[in-house]
Amino acid sequence: MKRSLLQLLTSLFFFGCVWNLSAAPDPEIEARVGKLLSKMTLEEKIGQLCQMNFEGRITDDLAKRIRNGEVGSFLNAGNLDAKNALQRIAVRESRLGIPLIYGRDVIHGYRTVFPIPIGQSCSWNPDLIEKASRVAATEAASDGIHWTFAPMVDIARDPRWGRIAEGCGEDPFLTSSLAAAMVRGFQGRRLSDADAVAACAKHYVGYGAAEGGRDYNTTWIPERLLRDVYLPSFHAAVDAGAATLMSAFNNLNGVPASGNAFTLRQVLRKELGFDGFVVSDWASIQEMINHGTCADEAEAAKKGLEGGVDMEMVTDCYRNHLANLVREGKIPESLVDESVKNVLRVKFRKGLFERPFTDAAKGKTLLAAGHLALAKQLATQGLVLLKNEKNALPLSPTGGKVAVIGPLADSPADQLGCWVMDGRPEDAVTPLAAIRSLLGKDNVLFAQGLRTSRDEDRSGFAEAVRAAESADAVILFLGEEAAITGEAKSRAFIGLPGRQEELAAEVEKTGKPVVLVVMAGRPLTFDAAAEPASSVLYAWHPGTMAGPAIADMLFGKAQPTGKLTVSFPRTVGQLPVYYNFMNTGRPVNPETWIVPSIFDQSKYIDVDYRPQYPFGFGLSYTTFRYDRLTLSSPEFGLDGSITVSATVTNTGKRAGEEIVQLYIRDLAASVTRPVKELKGFKRVSLDPGESRTVEFILKASDLAFWNDRMEFKAEPGRFHVWVAPNSAEGLKGEFSLTE
């Protein structure tokens, strides 16, 4: 894309960042794009903007379409033979030989399945997540996939929304860091490498703010909130070089996101300088008719293209109407050209013209030992210990018999989670299998209790109770089965489904120590089961290696280090609940909120205003003390920085790792600012008794936000700063930013 100097300066001014060099236009590629475009008919151009879902058979009709240059891309293009066969038609039999680009949802692994993204995010470990994405890309690329519809970088503050499973939680700073890591991992050293897949940051934008947590629902997001909270993760993905973006399903402030020139042309192209291509979500161009902004498919095609969506996924509005719209003068051909250039640019960058086919004999690395080891490591780091009374965990591997109970203890498909297109249950090691292999089969009693998480049949309870009674400790695996998480799986009640609470109560009545392991795609309200349990481990859906990761953790071969990336509500009535809220004019007083007669506080009279577990929270098998908060200076200027440090000491008896978090609050600004904002995090490993000083550098530009004039700037004034184990605690200091 050609950018004027003014645009470049504007972007630098707005974002205070160095321009993303990885996206700089390559003159050689631009020349090839231009040359190819000049040879294309209008129909061939439009073909590049059409993506089809492969239905499993190469019919004569389909072959003809490809031969005519009427298809630019497939999603789900079948096995490697099918992919190579389709590509052969495109490359060898079409007039210009333009290769197809194959997309697929490789969301959290390919054959080796990593934890669902929300689980990965709880590791707060960009390096490890980058490696996992690299593995996913390597496996997918070896099966002929060029492009993954990931990372999903939507901010989600509402666990009713099933797709909270697919993102990195509620925080823009953390999500940005992990989004960039995923993009780097998928795309590797060079996008043109055979083992790289093009990333697709989605769903642009605001999709996670669906009203009521109901999937596909309308979103109303004021521009400042959009820019402060929902856009930064896309910005980070673009800066990391994401080749493509996907436009979202939602109606954003009255204009569908898949026909939204403000977000796609103004923000994405002009301000962020994105020069890859934008694909619509599945049928989201056509769905503008349902939204009520387009009368028919022709208008949907017009508004989609004008809005800035380059490629239409699955539906045929572009295919059937763009040519006429151009011929009738309703849209200029130059607009089509622009989108075609975006698509071709990515195809050239991906090296598809040089290497359109994937060699079946080469590079099949599925489920390599190193991949499984990494899957176990990430699964381990994604586990979050929420409760551990009297250090009930870790259990001793020689502590007698264990009863493993619950519908998720031995459910390989469920532990893989949502959006698993290519992972297989038979590759998965379940917690039951792993615990049996750790303790020996004879030391493990197993009773499902319920067949699935939603099962209403109590007939298995008696056996579960018998198992508990005969054991020295119980490990109870409850949660959600994969099928009720992810896309279109919004829930109005987010408790443990089915009869699981009753099963927990029956088992807990035996008086045996109960360790509760929750496997779920969203934060659940599960206190009735958690309260009597001695320990609670929140596992999300940890993927292929869930079993070994969980077993090692429960029996002390691994240490819990995960921290929540989303606030857990006490009840759905609190939603949305998130840590970085605004203070209000009548903020709650933690000392007196409980007094019902005090009416001038922003609280509930029937439930604690705080979340059940706050953002950033997670326990360890050891304990950490934070002290000696030190600021390098009490103030600094707009071009300066400050070093904030604190000493963290391992005060327990085991070695451990702590994720130390940095938060700030801008106390008085031109617009209201959140009560806390994450600005940094660091992982420290400490032996028992060991202390370490953890340092963060906070630059003035880190304090910037979209001000009352919609400029991205830091404002002088007083700030609070915390070095903290989570968003609700920590050592607090103060500094000033001066003119």
> Residue 593 carries which DSSP code?
T
Nearest Cα residue to 152 out of 135, 133, 131: 133
Tell me: does residue 282 bind ligand BGC (CB under 6 A).
yes
With contact defined as beta carbons under 8 Å apart, do 187 and 196 qualify?
yes
Regarding 108 and contact with ligand BGC (CB under 6 A), the answer is: no
Helix H or strand E encompassing 364: none
Strands 255-256 and 251-252: antiparallel
Closer Cβ to ligand BGC, 75 or 182, answer by number: 75
Residue 487 or 608 with smaller CB distance to ligand BGC: 487
Considering only residues 441-460, where is the footprint of ligand BGC by CB under 6 A? none
Query: Given the complex with ligand BGC, which of 309 and 517 has the nearer CB atom?
Result: 309
Interaction with ligand BGC in 54-93: which residues (CB under 6 A)?
Answer: 75
105 versus 228: smaller Cβ distance to ligand BGC: 105
Nearer to ligand BGC, 279 or 550 (CB): 279
What does the angle CA 644 – CA 648 – CA 650 come to, to the nearest 5 degrees?
Answer: 170
Q: Which is nearer to ligand BGC, 149 or 624 (CB)?
A: 149
**Residue at 169: amino acid letter:** G
Pick one of 73, 78, 87, 105: the residue that binds ligand BGC (CB under 6 A): 105
**End-to-end CA, the chain:** 37
Query: Which residues are designated catalytic?
Result: 281
Residues 125-184 that bind ligand BGC (CB under 6 A): 149
Cβ proximity to ligand BGC, 53 vs 738, nearer residue: 53
**Shortest spacing between CB 75 and ligand BGC, in angstroms:** 6
The residue (of 491 and 563) whose beta carbon lies closer to ligand BGC is 491
Closest CB 51 distance from ligand BGC, rounded Å: 10
CA–CA separation, 124 and 143 (whole Å): 30
Among 530, 535, 529, residue whose Cα is nearest residue 515: 535
| Residue 472 binds ligand BGC, judged by CB under 6 A | no
CB 620 within 8 A of CB 657: yes
Touching ligand BGC, residues 327-386 (CB under 6 A):
none
Size of residue set near ligand BGC by CB under 6 A = 7
For 636-667, letters b (16+ CB in 10 Å) and e give bebeeebebbbbbbbebebebbbbbbbbbbbe
Least separation, in Å, of the C-beta of 694 and ligand BGC? Answer: 37
Binding of residue 202 to ligand BGC (CB under 6 A): yes
By CB under 6 A, what part of segment 686-725 binds ligand BGC? none
Least distance CB 202 / ligand BGC (angstroms): 6
Tokens of 89: 């038609």
* Binding status of residue 487 toward ligand BGC by CB under 6 A: yes
Scan residues 639-668 and list those touching ligand BGC (CB under 6 A).
none
Whether 529 contacts 507, CB under 8 Å: no
Q: How far is the CB of 420 from ligand BGC (least distance, A)?
A: 12
In whole angstroms, the minimum distance from the beta carbon of 65 to ligand BGC comes to: 20
Distance CA 500, CA 454 (A): 8
How large is the angle between the packed helices 333-349 and 27-39, nearest 10 degrees? Answer: 130
Q: Which is nearer to ligand BGC, 178 or 468 (CB)?
A: 178
**406 to 132, 263, 414, 551: CA distances (angstroms):** 29, 46, 13, 15
The angle, 0 to 180 degrees and rounded to 10, between the axes of the packed helices 546-554 and 369-382 is: 50
Q: Which residue number, 161 or 282, has a Cβ lying nearer to ligand BGC?
A: 282
Binding residue (CB under 6 A) for ligand BGC from 170, 171, 239, 281: 281
Task: Count the neighbouring beta carbons within 10 Å of the beta carbon of residue 61.
Answer: 8
Cα–Cα dist 393/535, whole Å: 7
Q: Which two tokens stand for residue 99?
A: 């290769």
723 residue type, one letter = V
559, two tokens: 């240490």
The CB-of-123 to ligand BGC minimum distance in angstroms stands at: 22
Residue nearest ligand BGC (C-beta atom) = 149
Compute φ and ψ for 9, nearest 5 degrees. -65, -40
CB neighbour burial string for 171-207, b if at least 16 within 10 angstroms, e if fewer? bbbbbbbbbbbbbbbbbbeebbbebbbbbbbbbbbbb
> Which CB sits closer to ligand BGC, 213 or 611?
213
Q: Closest Cα partner for 564 from 665, 681, 389, 646?
A: 681
Amino acid occupying residue 294 = C
CB atoms within 10 A of CB 668: 10
Nearer to ligand BGC, 40 or 107 (CB): 107
Widest Cα–Cα separation across the chain: 80
Look at residue 317 and give its three-state secondary structure: helix
| CB-based contacts of 334, cutoff 8 Å, min separation 6 | none
* Minimum CB–partner distance for residue 216 and ligand BGC (Å): 9
Running DSSP on this structure, what letter comes out for residue 613? Answer: B
| Residue 13 burial class via C-beta count within 10 angstroms: exposed 0-12, middle 13-18, buried 19 and up | exposed
Q: Rounded to whole angstroms, how far apart are CA atoms 161 and 177?
A: 23
The residue ranges that bind ligand BGC (CB under 6 A) are 75, 105, 149, 202, 281-282, 487
